[in-house]
Amino acid sequence: MIIIHVDMDAFFAAVEIRDDPSLRGKPLIIGSLPNECGVVATCSYEARKYGVHSAMNIKDAYRLCPNGIYMHPHMDKYKAVSDALHVIWNSYATALESVAYDEAYLDVTERAKNFDGAREIAYEIKRRTREELGLSCSVGVAYSKSAAKTASEEKKPNGYFEILTPEAFVSLMRDRDVRALYTVGEKTAEKLHRSGIRTVRDIQERREEVVMLLGKQGQWLASLAFGIDDRPVTPYRPEDAKSIGREVTFQKDVDNYSLLKDILLLLSLSVDRRAKRVGLHGRGVSLKITYADMKSITRSQLVFSTDSPLEVYRTAARLLDNVEHRPARLIGVSIYNLSAEREPQISIDELIEEKTHRSENELSALLSSLGARYGLDFAGNLDKLFKADTLHKTIEYMRRHS
């Protein structure tokens, strides 16, 4: 295999700096604002010099970087740029596995033929990204997915690196901390450190102990420590998803559960649209709540079908009625047990049509009532509403006016 891993440099921040050059060279933090609840989505490299990083609590980021420029993300804009990036990436790959808006694995084995060809493709991707989109990326070329990801991180930002053999991977990684290995997070690293296993070399030399300590994950890490990774690049298929969901984090905690139920209606509509867009429906509905103390709970219920957004909403609302009512920081809805849509049997067409008509009328009535409560007009505006930025702004407006 010949794998390329592409990782955009500080993606959200880079897009904002591209569109507003006055932000260049300044510590830019994308995410929540300092007076809100939330975390850092990403930040510029200037902000990282202060110790700010992705997923950091926004209060901690402000403490480290009080003079930073704080900004809400513009997800619709980032999605449009991501779509343009995928056009570039897909022109070189026989298989593409997206990790996020700004990161992907490309199998270029057939197109590149050899590593010299892969090197040419990598630099072509960097050139097109800069010239067509005004952004920089870091690219790794390697014999495997984990080695390619390691390579792309080696020279960030705007870097290029290659790891062409398992021996080269082992030579590079042998004396690094176990955290340098793909999939080793903080908790796994702590468990290994407590056992005196601190470096990749330690994993190599104490393989059996690592397997006993971590089980199946330990087997994976023991193989990876020797550069072994034969996972293929696997394109995402909607039908492979375990669930489809939508959630929102509030800028300030919410203790009004009537408001939360109203928000569930919009989230349920959004989830339904996402599912129908890829031809899926579910047999279960899940409700997720994160409370002000950061404790998260999930409640789920099986249903006959989630073909109707009204069914998703009703189920989520019932689940909400039966949880502890205390200030919430996040609420989300998802559907699971997914399967492809099936055409209804001809013999019950009229019954389904009548039921659908009733559901649509009830849904219209709920939206009209919702709009009246908050002074909003949902008629004809649902397509625009369900764009990420607009939905979040609408929900925040509802929160402020509840």
pLDDT score of 232 more than 60:
yes
Catalytic pick among 16, 97, 103, 162? 103
Both tokens assigned to 345 = 């049997």
Q: In degrees to the nearest 10, what's the CA dihedral of 90, 95, 100, 102?
A: -40
Query: pLDDT at residue 367 above 80?
Result: yes
Residue 294, amino acid: M
pLDDT, residue 69, reads 97
Cα distance between residue 134 and residue 113, in whole Å: 29
Across the beta sheet with 296-302, what order do the strands follow? 243-254, 328-336, 284-291, 296-302
Confidence category of residue 379, pLDDT binned at 50, 70, 90: low
**pTM reported for the whole predicted model:** 0.76
- The count of residues in the chain is 402
pLDDT, average across residues 243-267:
92
**How much is the pLDDT for 239?**
62
Instruction: Tell me the mean pLDDT in the region 10-20.
Output: 96
Give residue 287's pLDDT band: very low, low, confident or very high (50, 70, 90).
very high
d(CA 377, CA 368): 8
- For the stretch 44-53, pLDDT in tens is 999 999 999 9
Query: Residue 135: helix, strand or coil by DSSP?
Result: coil
Q: Where in the chain is the domain with CATH 3.30.70.270?
A: 1-153
Mean pLDDT of 141-163: 96
- Pick the range with the lowest mean pLDDT from 143-152, 182-191, 240-249: 240-249
CATH of 169-225, one of 1.10.10.10, 1.10.150.20, 3.30.470.10, 1.10.150.120: 1.10.150.20
- Rounded Cα distance between 310 and 265, Å, is 8
CATH number of 238-400: 3.30.1490.100
Q: For residues 385 and 371, what is the distance between their CA atoms, to the nearest angstrom?
A: 13
Provide the pLDDT for residue 82.
94
Q: Quick one: which of 98, 77, 83 has its CA closest to 13?
A: 77
Which pLDDT score is estimated for 338?
A: 83
297-338 confidence digits (pLDDT tens): 999 998 877 778 899 999 999 999 999 999 999 999 999 888
Q: How far apart are CA 93 and CA 87, in angstroms?
A: 10
Average pLDDT, the chain: 89
Q: Is 350 a catalytic residue?
A: no
Task: Give me the pLDDT at residue 259, please.
Answer: 95
For CATH 3.30.1490.100, list the domain ranges present in the chain: 238-400
Give the residue-averaged pLDDT of 17-21: 97
CATH 3.30.70.270 is held by the domain 1-153: yes
Name the residue among 29, 15, 76 with its Cα closest to residue 57.
Answer: 29
Cα–Cα distance measured from residue 104 to residue 123, given in angstroms and rounded to the nearest whole number: 16
| CA proximity to 140, closest of 121, 157, 126, 160 | 160
CATH 1.10.150.20 residue spans of the chain: 169-225
Q: What does the pLDDT read at residue 343?
A: 43
Residue 38 banded pLDDT, cuts 50, 70, 90? confident
Cis peptide before 166 (omega within 30 of 0): no
Q: Does the pLDDT of residue 348 top 50, yes or no?
A: no
